[in-house]
């Protein structure tokens, strides 16, 4: 069977939810999958075109009073099969992070202690802000879970839990590394 890239599978997956348009897909990813997936319109619209060309979804135009028309995409049985088949396939590789902060820290000896500390501090702030948004997302998922009795909420909470734990570990590391750098600075 034909294979597609992960961007395409991500969109197929989202089309199983209430999100049916390119715009809504972007919003869902930015708001709920943000900690493990990113996407741009430059990926979404061409991918939706491909999905329709391949018969994995069907489009229909929906008039939207006082708003631009929108195109709703609905999975076909074939599209649902392709999604399930991807879900069933094994995963070979660990995700590969690219972390600019760690890259700079790796060469930290060529930086002043002040600069190293300030980079870590701004990283810490961003991590803390991210942790707070996760808590916000968690609450909105819990609300959604109570409203609609759907199974998907459980899985969304699993992925969110991952984000929270990993972010928490990064925050702890950040705080302690800043402390170590400050001690170093005072020693020298």
Partner DNA sequence: GATCTCATGTAAAACGTTACATGATTTG
Partner DNA sequence: CAAATCATGTAACGTTTTACATGAGATC
Residues that bind its own copies (CB under 8 A): 6, 9-10, 13, 16, 33, 35-38, 83-84, 86-88, 90-91, 93-111, 115, 119, 122-123, 126-127, 130, 150-152, 154-156, 158-159, 161-162, 165-166, 168-170, 172-173, 177, 180, 184
Q: Does 42 bind DNA (CB under 7 A)?
A: yes
d(CA 95, CA 91) in angstroms, rounded, equals 10
Q: Does 46 bind DNA (CB under 7 A)?
A: yes
Provide long-range contacts, Cβ within 8 A and 24+ apart, for 136-144: 137/31, 137/32, 138/164, 141/32
Using a 10 angstrom Cβ sphere, with 0-12 exposed, 13-18 middle and 19 or more buried, the burial of residue 62 is exposed
Nearer to DNA, 24 or 138 (CB): 24
Alpha helix stretches (DSSP H) within the chain:
6-14, 22-32, 41-53, 77-88, 100-106, 113-147, 152-187
Build a one-symbol-per-residue string for 74-113: x at contacts with DNA by CB under 7 A, - elsewhere: ----------------------x-x---------------
What's the closest the beta carbon of residue 57 comes to DNA, in angstroms? 12
Check if the beta carbon of residue 76 is closer than 8 Å to that of residue 101: no
Interface contacts to DNA, rule CB under 7 A: 5-7, 21-24, 27, 38-43, 45-46, 48-49, 64, 66-71, 96, 98
């Amino acid at each position: 069977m034909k294979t597609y890239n992960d961007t395409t599978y991500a969109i197929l997956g989202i089309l199983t939810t209430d999100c049916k348009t390119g715009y809504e897909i972007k919003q869902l990813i930015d708001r709920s999958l943000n900690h493990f997936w990113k996407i741009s319109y430059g990926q979404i619209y061409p991918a939706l075109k491909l999905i329709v060309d391949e018969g994995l979804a069907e489009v229909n135009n929906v008039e939207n009073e006082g708003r631009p028309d929108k195109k709703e995409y609905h999975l076909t049985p074939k599209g649902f099969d392709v999604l399930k088949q991807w879900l069933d396939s094994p995963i070979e590789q660990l995700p590969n992070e690219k972390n600019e902060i760690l890259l700079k820290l790796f060469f930290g000896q060529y930086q002043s202690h002040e600069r190293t500390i300030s980079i870590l501090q701004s990283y810490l702030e961003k991590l803390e802000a991210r942790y707070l948004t996760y808590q916000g997302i968690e609450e909105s998922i819990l609300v959604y879970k109570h409203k609609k009795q759907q199974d998907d909420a459980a899985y969304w909470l699993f992925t969110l839990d991952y984000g929270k734990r990993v972010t928490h570990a990064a925050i702890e590391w950040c705080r302690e590394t800043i402390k170590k750098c400050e001690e170093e600075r005072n020693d020298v």
